[in-house]
Structure 1
Amino acid sequence: MANGNLEKMERVSTSASDADRLAQMGHVQELRRDFSIWSLGALCLCLMATWEALSTVVATALTTGGAPCLFWNLLISVICTVAIACSLGEIASIYPTAGGQYHWVAALSPPSTRAVASWFTGWINVGGQIVLTASAAFAAGLQLQSLIILNDDSYVPQRYQGMLFYWAVLLYATLMNIWGSRLLPTANLLAGILHIAGFFAILIVLAVMAPKNTAHFVFLETTNASGWSSEGVSWLVGLLSSVYPLLGYDAACHLAEEMPHASRNVPLAMVGSVSVNGLLGLGYCIMLLFSTGPLDELLGTKTGFPFMQIYYNTTQSAAGATVMSLILIIIAMIATVAGITSTSRTFWAFSRDKAVPFHDFFSYVNPRSQIPVRSILIVFFLQLLLGFIYLGNSTAFNAILSMAILGLYASYFIPIVYFLIHGRPKLQAHEFGVFRLSKPLGVVLNLLACAWLIVAMIFSTFPTAMPVTPQNMNYSSVVMVGWTFLGGLYYFVRGRKKFEVPVVDREARGF
């Protein structure tokens, strides 16, 4: 009995501490703190879905530099992404709020740029999260459709059917976020187990049954089937194959108001999920590249997904390839659930600070469920509309999805730069959070993170193949400029008059 009372008192004390910290950053506690470090870490693991996402980009990597392009770029990407996660984690430990990046920029930037820098960071981050979640739902939907192709030679896929599959995944994820919200922590834990168990199951099947390429092919044999005259540029264009599978770990910071000890647990979830997924991704990458088989066969697969062809060639069975593929599809559906959770919290926080149209409506939190239902529904609705774009023009739809790297990476870059210039040199020791890097290590990781973000953003805008056609053109920069222009138009016409820039009580910030 005494132990039970002690645990209850500790939970109450933790809750009060987190609520007090949130109050010092200008907000009141409105959401339930249901997530633990384990359930939050599992959410980030499945949202990133690194080894699963690698399956879908292997063909692109093989045409823009060969197998070594994917492996070595992934290795570099993992190292640099850990640096980014550590950099963001240190800031999240100081300012653990659902707003994440835009709130950090507001706290770190000088008054002259505070409002505009904070608002645009939030706007870009919301856009990046929306399309990243849509890409997970789109992958799950089209892969479900491809399972029919794999098992039925007479089936002729239609674009509208792919859209319906995409909508079905989004609907499931939305219903889970609203009516299954109390199950999310447990569901994420189970999903994390499937994520790791599925990795080992597929790894063992490929190791035992798949015909193997040579080590020279995997690690050294470069090829350039992209059409770029420079092998170096072709290699760097292949960065997209290693960057995309490592997106989404900032979801932890957007759930900071839904877990205890957020100052400690949010950075641990971010850095831990990147580290674990990085190791899993590297292991799976090596085995997948050993098992690819002829490139022409992968590119010409009737399913549209080369990894399904690899699984089929390995098992020589449609049923075996279906079971293996279902693991990836289930994780993609779970990633959609996690993405809507994270994106809706960001949109809700942005609405709370009066940064979007109809902010009073979207900042509402259901008092019974303690979740931002309206923000969940608007995220669902916006992603639903993207389905019509896919129905009309798949190139335009893919262009919108390709904005995920630019949007998220820009939202990572801005707060790290402000922290380097205005945060680390000026903050007192007591103003840092629980997760604190030493000054020399912190500066090195911040600089490495910024350098990688710049390189990745630049080359993620390059087309993956030459000559450029309307179909293979990389429109990510166009979409990014368009999204930023729309946001800027709203901000300067109306938003800047309403936006309540997040503030931090520096006198009370001795966490």
Structure 2
Amino acid sequence: MAESSGSQLYGTQSDAYAATHDLHHRAGSKERMPIGGEEVSVDDADELLAAMGYKPELVRTRSTLQVAFMSFVLASIPYGLSTTFYYPLVGGGPANIIWGFVGVSLIILCVAISLGEITSVFPTAGGVYYQTWMLANPAYRHIASWICGWSFVVGNITITLAVNFGTTLFLVGCLNVFGGEDGILEGNRWQVYLLFLAITLLCNAVSALGNKWLPWLDTFAIFWTFAGVIAIVICTLAIAKNGRNDASYVFGEFNPSLSGWPAGWSFCIGLLQAAYVTSSTGMIISMCEEVRHPSTQVPKAMVYTILLNLACGCLFLIPLLFVMPDQEFLANLASGQPLPPIIYNAVGHAGGTFALTIPLLVLGILCGIACTTAASRCTWAFARDGAIPGAQWWKTVNARLDVPLNAMMLSMAVQLLLGLIYFGSSAAFNAFSGVGVICLTLSYACPIAVSVLGGRKLIAEGSYNFGAFGLVANVIALAWSLLAIPLFCMPTAIPVTAELMNYASVVFAGFFVIATTWYFVWGKKHYQGPPTHEVAEFQAARRASITSEVVPK
């Protein structure tokens, strides 16, 4: 791009921040203002959105608690920890499970703080992609925002796929507590895929047709989660039919021999469980245009939810480790789902075990619905700026349903196609969860990195600024990103076979090739990024309007 264009863009960035800063400090007012040549009535949150160059298209219905509840459901800690229990179990056992979760949660708290600071200044459904564009130097903002946007979209879609596929595998494991060692469901790959298809269609149907009820569904999920966790904890510890492990085993047992990796690397591989359940941290940003006061509500939801998840996760994991049977027995399960056998070992009754897993299965469905919703919003937002092939189709909002239905169907189609990988590898879930974590981690790192490179100047006046500690959080978040991206491309155990290969790197590379090719074929010439050219016009109109009200005629 020519240098003159770069200078113009840099001015636009300053104008965007000035307008956003002005609107933050004048929140609460309502007035009619020209945006893009037409008169529209907007509230304070929609004024912010308009200053960032977008016309409000979605209805703002979520309160502070409701956006926090959705953030909690996106993580669905007890469910997510259940479906990925295998990875730290093989990586090292109890110590890997509990301390890995605590350690990663504290790291992700730094990621949440970092993203919260930025989101308080730039609250839009474009999320980290838009933020990267606004914070990056004009010399590289095009490619930086392009990479971030594609990573965010792919991460949202593959995490949603991993959630629905994980629910499928977990359901098979729960059903097979009946019928002894052989179970009642063979779990053939076509059976698993059909169950996955049904769950995916259900989640998309609820998200599309019941949009106005989703905040209440998230509220229900909070009470359902804690009721289910309490029931599991009380029943397993009280009955403990085969006895209990001692505290030294629960908090100190570390056995990496099952993975074949060296001890330190084996522990790191086991962190996939914790990284998976906390990877949804930034997905809630995609809901900014449906939140009443996104500049404050969304950052608070991201940070506080991490603390709530940490408490809920420890409450769930520690009792299970006290009643957990032999580590090698669980690692060799054909289903790859250790939780149902752990509960069965404690209560000694198939019917009771299945009853205790019902709350987790329901939570898995609710998590799938929340992830489907978030994935559709970020896909729609990225298409809105013309970055996805066929953008004119995917940027359309269905006025009757008040959802970006076409973008939701695109996301679902990609998930169903990727699900076919399971017919070639039983380790497909590892690929889905791994690539989701990798892509989301990369997308979160982009705005944090460019913010740090810019001296954190544009977030200094945000409504959620942590000051010096914010910089510390930024550094920790970026260091985690550098570790997580190569880490979760690794297979869980060695030696590696084609059947057990971690195909996360293959899926990630495939999307990266598609995105890069599309950029050089079309994006480099035509991709203009977010419509920030309207910000200066908006700010001038706003100042003119204020002046006309103050100066007497």
TM-score range for the pair, normalised by the shorter chain length: over 0.9
Distance (whole Å) between structure 1 residues aligned to residue 398 and residue 187 of structure 2: 41
Q: Paired residues, what number?
A: 498
Does the C-alpha gap of structure 1 residues 296 and 393 become closer, same or farther in structure 2, counting only changes over 3 Å?
Answer: closer
What residue identity is the alignment partner of 1:63?
V
Q: What is the CA distance between 1:301 and its match in structure 2? A: 4.0
Q: Which moved more, 1:289-298 or 1:347-356?
A: 289-298
Give the alignment partner of residue 180 of structure 1, picking from 210, 218, 226: 210
For residues 135 and 281 of structure 1, the distance between their equivalents in structure 2, rounded to whole angstroms, comes to: 19
Equivalence for 1:488:
516
Q: Secondary structure at the match of 1:402?
A: helix
**Is 1:135 the equivalent of 2:162?**
yes
Higher Rg:
2
Q: Match of 2:473?
A: 445
**How far off its partner does 1:145 sit?**
2.8
Find the aligned partners of 2:290 and 2:208 in 1 and give their Cα distance. Answer: 15
Structure-1 separation of matches of 2:117 and 2:358: 37
**Alpha-carbon distance in structure 2 between the residues aligned to 1:411 and 1:445:** 16
The structural deviation recorded for 1:328 is 1.1
Pick one of 465, 477, 484 that aligns with 1:436: 465
Extract unaligned runs of 5+ from structure 2: 1-26, 32-40, 543-553
Q: Which residue of 1 aligns with 2:458?
A: 427
Alignment of 1:53-68 (within 5 A): 53-68=80-95
Matched, 1:354 2:386: yes
> In the alignment, which residue of structure 2 is the partner of 1:225?
257
Q: Aligned runs of 1:377-396 on 2, under 5 Å?
A: 377-396=409-428
* One-letter amino acid of the structure 1 residue matched with residue 218 of structure 2: N
Runs of 4+ in 1 over 6 A off after TM superposition: 9-14
Between the aligned partners of 1:182 and 1:379, the Cα distance in structure 2 is 20
1: CA distance, partners of 2:472 / 2:245: 38
- Once the 2 structures are TM-superposed, how far is the Cα of residue 477 of structure 1 from its aligned partner? 2.2
Q: Is the 8 A contact 2:427 2:502 kept in 1?
A: no
Residue 149 of structure 1 deviates from its aligned partner by 2.2
Alpha-carbon distance, 1:398 to partner: 4.0
Query: How does the TM-score come out when normalised to structure 1?
Result: 0.92
The partner residue of 2:431 within 399, 421, 441 is 399
Matched, 1:298 2:330: yes
Alignment partner of 2:96 out of 52, 69, 73? 69
CA–CA distance in 1 between the matches of 2:239 and 2:487? 36
- Cα distance per residue 1:214-268 (max 9 Å; x no partner): 1111222221223545212222222213211212121221000001111000101
Matched, 1:285 2:317: yes
Structure 1 residues 286, 146: closer, same or farther in 2, change over 3 A?
Answer: closer
- Match for residue 117 of structure 1 among 138, 144, 151: 144
Instruction: Return the offset for 1:436.
Output: 1.5
Tell me whether 1:22 sits opposite 2:41 in the alignment.
Answer: no
- Range moving further from structure 2, 407-416 or 211-220: 211-220
For the pair 1:315 / 2:315, whether they are aligned, the reply is: no
- 1:393–1:469 CA distance, 2 compared to 1 (3 A): closer
Give the 3-state SS of the residue equivalent to 1:377 in structure 2: helix
Asked if 1 retains the 8 angstrom alpha-carbon contact of 2:177 and 2:350, the reply is yes
2:446 alignment counterpart = 414
Say whether residues 1:160 and 2:177 are aligned partners: no
Within a 5 Å distance, the mapping from 1:489-508 to structure 2 comes to 489-504=517-532, 505=535, 508=539
- Residue 483 of structure 2: SS of its match in structure 1? helix
1:171 to 196, 201, 209: 201
User: Partners in 1 of 2:185 and 2:262 — Cα distance?
Assistant: 41
Aligned-partner SS, 1:89: helix
1:465 correspondence with 2:493: yes
Unaligned ranges ≥5, structure 1: 1-8
Q: Is the 8 A contact 1:389 1:397 kept in 2?
A: no
Aligned to 1:287, the other structure's residue is in SS state helix
Cα deviation, 1:171-217, whole Å, max 9, x if unaligned, reads 11111111111111111111122122222221222222223111111
Shift of 1:363: 0.5
**236-245 or 483-492: which moved more?**
236-245
Q: Is 1:93 the equivalent of 2:120?
A: yes
Say if 1:149 and 1:302, in contact at 8 Å, map to a contact too. no
The 1:114/1:503 distance shift into structure 2, 3 A limit, reads farther
Q: Secondary structure at the match of 1:495?
A: helix
Letter of the 2:416 partner, please give it.
L
**TM-aligned CA deviation for residue 140 of structure 1:** 1.4
Deviation at 1:388, TM superposition (A): 2.6
- Does the CA-based 8 Å contact 1:226-1:464 persist in structure 2? no
After superposition, give the CA deviation of every residue in 1:98-132 in whole Å (9 maximum; x if it has no partner): 01011000000011111111011110111111110
Identity %: 32
Amino acid at match of 2:167: A
Q: Map 1:358-377 onto structure 2 (within 5 A).
A: 358-377=390-409
Q: Contact 1:239–1:456 (CA<8 Å) still a contact in 2?
A: no
With the length of structure 2 as denominator, give the TM-score of the two structures. Answer: 0.85
Provide the C-alpha distance between the structure 1 equivalents of 2:188 and 2:501, rounded to a whole number of angstroms. 23
| Deviation (angstroms), 1:29 | 0.4
Q: Report the Cα distance in structure 1 between the residues aligned to 2:261 and 2:506, rounded to whole angstroms.
A: 24
Quote the RMSD (CA, aligned, Å).
2.3
Alpha-carbon offset, residue 11 of structure 1? 10
Aligned equivalents of 1:247, 1:500: Cα separation in 2? 29
What is the match of residue 6 of structure 2? none
**Equivalent in the alignment of 1:4:** none
1:237 aligns with: 269
Change (3 A) 1:196 1:496: farther
State the AA in 1 paired with 2:498: P
Q: For the structure 1 residues 319 and 106, does the alpha-carbon distance in structure 2 shift closer, same or farther, using more than 3 Å as the test?
A: same
